[in-house]
Amino acid sequence: MKKHVVLYKKLSAQLMERLQAQAQVTLIERLDAQGLAQLRAALPTAHGLLGASLKLDAALLDLAPNLHAIASVSVGVDNYDIDYLTERRILLSNTPDVLTETTADTGFALILATARRVVELANLVREGGWQQSIGPRHFGTDVHGKTLGIIGMGRIGEALAQRGHFGFGMPVLYHSHSPKPAVEQRFGARYCSLETLLQQADFVCLTLPLTAETHGLIGAQAFAQMRPESIFINISRGKVVDEAALIEALRNHQIRGAGLDVFEREPLNADSPLLQMDNVVATPHMGSATHETREAMAQCAVDNLLAALAGGRPVNLVNARAWKG
């Protein structure tokens, strides 16, 4: 008999066909109240789950006694209680690598847009405010040659370093759990403490996962260490930052600006003070959002799920201890 898979993310026709050839599929089109009710109804017979952007807590998972695998269409796994999944021997997989370059592109788009005030000035033109040559009041700040600070030198951090070093001649500072000699050799990057990075980088970029250790890592104390010319970029997770402290730092001109793809609460409230600030560029958690990359992520997730449901070990298994071998 076919295994039962619950999708809470729509797949391309091609991937859907592939999944349906091997599994009985229930598709939850939208995660609104009705969709969540459908999900609850489907969980009791589910063997596999595939989707993203849903906090799958124990209360939901307890409705799914037969669940064997979850394929997250994301690299970040902060939406899952990994200890609980491991205890139940539910295999959790994610989609690393395929989104690395696209997410780093987003990071650089935010660096450029914030430093060169692209959104603000494009809006000025759109609103008919370009009546004469712009002057210093509208000038930005250079990106090339400035110091790029990367907090979390993993896959995406490294792709950001590559762009900064080769594309923009930027000296690279980084902070991670441990030094990365290969990154230092390839990009001339220099390992330093978080404090040094905050004090010296012109662009402070977050590329960390959200974990118990990183939750609220960047707060008032961190912003106080940054310089008034610094620009803060977050393409990791909103909860790594104390958003109220960020708003205060922007209000008090402790930093020059911020490029933000992620927020404490998503979607960001329309009345967030961040949206009133000209020196903030806010994007809707779009780090990996290109047609090509989202399809590659979905394909990766389908591969992981089908492997698990066939009794194999998914290539991108997150909780290795759940694997019996």
Ligand X SMILES: NC(=O)C1=CN([C@@H]2O[C@H](COP(=O)(O)OP(=O)(O)OC[C@H]3O[C@@H](n4cnc5c(N)ncnc54)[C@H](OP(=O)(O)O)[C@@H]3O)[C@@H](O)[C@H]2O)C=CC1
Choose from ligand O=CC(=O)O, ligand X, none: what does 235 bind? Cβ within 5-8 Å by kind: ligand X
Residue 154 touching ligand X (CB under 6 A): yes
Closest Cα partner for 266 from 54, 95, 63?
A: 54
**Which residue in the set 93, 207, 230, 299 belongs to the binding site for ligand X (CB under 6 A)?**
207
For residue 297, what are its two tokens?
């992520």
Residues 266-305, interacting with ligand O=CC(=O)O (CB under 6 A): 287-288
Q: Is 288 in the site for ligand X (CB under 6 A)?
A: yes
Long-range contacts of 262-269, Cβ-Cβ distance < 8 Å, separation of 24 or more: 262/234, 262/235, 262/236, 262/237, 262/238, 262/287, 263/238, 264/238, 264/239, 265/238, 266/238
Residue 103 identity (one-letter amino acid): T
20: number of Cβ within 10 Å: 14
Among 75, 281, 298, 306, binds ligand O=CC(=O)O (CB under 6 A): 75
Is 285 a residue that touches ligand X (CB under 6 A)? yes
Q: Give 98 or 143: the residue with its C-beta nearer to ligand O=CC(=O)O.
A: 98
Residue 285 annotated in active site: yes
Dihedral over alpha carbons 317, 318, 322, 325 (to 10 degrees): 30
Whichever of 171 and 238 has its CB closer to ligand X, that residue is 238
Residue closer to ligand O=CC(=O)O (CB basis): 76 or 257: 76
Residue 200 binds ligand O=CC(=O)O (CB under 6 A):
no
Q: How many angstroms separate the Cα of 163 from the Cα of each of 66, 102, 160?
A: 45, 12, 5
Contacting residue, 72, 103, 230, 316, with ligand X by CB under 6 A? 103
Q: Is 236 in the site for ligand X (CB under 6 A)?
A: yes
Cβ atoms of 116 and 140 within 8 Å: the answer is yes
- Asked if 291 is an active-site residue, the reply is no
- Looking at the DSSP bridge assignments, the partners of residue 205 are 150, 233
Packing angle of the helix pair 291-309, 13-22 (nearest 10 deg): 0
Closest to ligand X by CB, 103 or 254:
103
Cα–Cα distance for residue pair 64/48, rounded to 1 Å:
10
Residue 147 contact, options ligand X, ligand O=CC(=O)O, none, Cβ 5-8 Å cut-off depending on partner type? none
Residue by residue, DSSP assigns 269-297 as: PTT-GGGG-TTEEE--S-TT-SHHHHHHH
Least distance (Å) between residue 298 CB and ligand X: 14
Pick the catalytic residue: 138, 266, 292, 321?
266
Stretch that binds ligand X, among 15-23, 147-155, 224-232, 294-302 (CB under 6 A): 147-155
**Region of 15-23, 72-80, 178-186, 317-325 interacting with ligand O=CC(=O)O (CB under 6 A):** 72-80
Active site residue 264: no
- 174 φ, ψ to 5°? -145, 155
Q: Quick one: 23 or 297, whose CB is closer to ligand O=CC(=O)O?
A: 297
Pick from 32, 213, 278, 292 the residue near ligand X by CB under 6 A. 213
Task: Quickly tell me which residue has 């995406």 as its tokens.
Answer: 156
Q: For helices 100-115 and 155-162, what crossing angle results, to 10°?
A: 50
Q: Provide the 10 A C-beta neighbour count for residue 92.
A: 24
**Interacting residues toward ligand X by CB under 6 A:** 75-76, 96, 99-100, 103, 152-157, 175-178, 207-211, 213-214, 235-237, 261-262, 285, 287-288
**Interacting residues toward ligand O=CC(=O)O by CB under 6 A:** 74-76, 99, 287-288
Active site residues: 237, 266, 285
